[in-house]
Amino acid sequence: MNALEQGIITASYGRHYLIELENNGGLLQGFPRGKKNEAAVGDKVICERRSNNQGVIVEILPRHNLLYRSDLFKSKYLAANLDQLLIVLATEPYFSEDLLGRALVAAQANQLTVLIVLNKIDLGAQLANARARLNVYRGLGFEVLETSVCANPEATHEQLAGRLAGRATLLLGQSGMGKSTLVNLLVPEAQAATREISTALKTGKHTTTLTRLYTLPEGGVLIDSPGFQEFGLQHLSEETLVRAFAEFQPFLGSCRFYNCRHLHEPDCAVLTALARGEIALARHALYMQLLAEKKR
């Protein structure tokens, strides 16, 4: 048997992985050995070298979390071993509150810190509207930073660098919010690194579907995932879903039925709070939607 080496997954493209070996051991193209060795970016793995630049992943070391999305048919890993989620929104184009809400639920389920960034504040026309839409989330205690990556890169860097240093952060954002521009600001060598990864994985024009891990100049890692439209959370239990809505928590003991699902039950404390305007309609609607998707 060849020597075993440890490394971290720094890129994934389907079932193709790039592994950065410890102790400056270089890059290895890695393949999972069978279905159960499917790894995610951020995973620490043991691999067995098969050639100069290729190896087989023989073990995935225990992860402290794994963020993924799922529907009835498949699940898709986003990243492993995270501390933080950085959600990039913009004044324009219009951001989806549904995707934002789902990302917040996923973060809560994995005990991740959340940082929401409202980018393109230099585009004034939609600024007030975007701020108003984010008030609910500010009220829930989420930190919302305002940036203009293009018009004011220095200030953006100042706001974010300290918050990312020394931590593992996953960047999520719909297309067009300024995610790539932000990565290039925070990781000056990002474009060169991506070219290197594309060559190693021979992804060619599919580069945009890569998930990539960058080491930050200040320490810590930033993981850039491709934008997506769907964020299914089928795999989360009903209990986890309820807990993910912080604003429901004060009411949970006060429903008439101990096993109340807070959907249509009489004397439900959550529904009463909703009727009084203490819980936002859109948030409860998302909760109902997530529950409904589990049953389909």
Ligand X SMILES: Nc1nc2c(ncn2[C@@H]2O[C@H](COP(=O)(O)OP(=O)(O)OP(=O)(O)O)[C@@H](O)[C@H]2O)c(=O)[nH]1
Residue in 44, 179, 283, 284 binding ligand X, rule: CB under 6 A: 179
Q: Is 191 a residue that touches ligand X (CB under 6 A)?
A: no
For residue 277, how many C-alpha atoms fall within 13 Å in the half-sphere facing its CB?
A: 0
Q: Report what 260 binds from ligand X, Zn ion, none; CB cut-off 5-8 Å by kind.
A: Zn ion
State how far the Cα of 103 lies from the Cα of 171, in Å rounded to an integer.
11
**DSSP for residue 44:** E
Q: Is 60 annotated as a binding residue?
A: no
State how far the Cα of 237 lies from the Cα of 109, in Å rounded to an integer.
10
Q: Is 175 annotated as a binding residue?
A: yes
Sign of CA dihedral 256, 257, 258, 259: negative
State how far the Cα of 223 lies from the Cα of 86, in Å rounded to an integer.
10
Q: Is 234 annotated as a binding residue?
A: no
Binding site for Zn ion (CB under 5 A): 255, 260, 262, 268, 270
Q: Is 127 a residue that touches ligand X (CB under 6 A)?
A: no
CB-nearer residue toward ligand X: 207 or 215: 207
Q: Which helix (H) or strand (E) holds 108?
A: helix 97-109
Positions in 92-121 near ligand X (CB under 6 A)? 119-120
Q: Is 267 a residue that touches ligand X (CB under 6 A)?
A: no
The distance of closest approach from Cβ of residue 106 to Zn ion in the complex, given in angstroms and rounded to an integer, is 23
Residue in 151, 165, 288, 292 binding ligand X, rule: CB under 6 A: 151
Taking each helix axis from N to C terminus, what angle separates 179-186 and 153-164, rounded to the nearest 10 degrees?
A: 70
Positions in 207-236 near ligand X (CB under 6 A)? 227
Residue in 150, 200, 252, 291 binding ligand X, rule: CB under 6 A: 150
Largest distance between two CA atoms of the chain: 67
State how far the Cα of 90 lies from the Cα of 133, in Å rounded to an integer.
11
Q: Is 145 a residue that touches ligand X (CB under 6 A)?
A: no
Numbered residues of the known binding site for GTP: 119-122, 173-181
Numbered residues of the known binding site: 119-122, 173-181, 255, 260, 262, 268
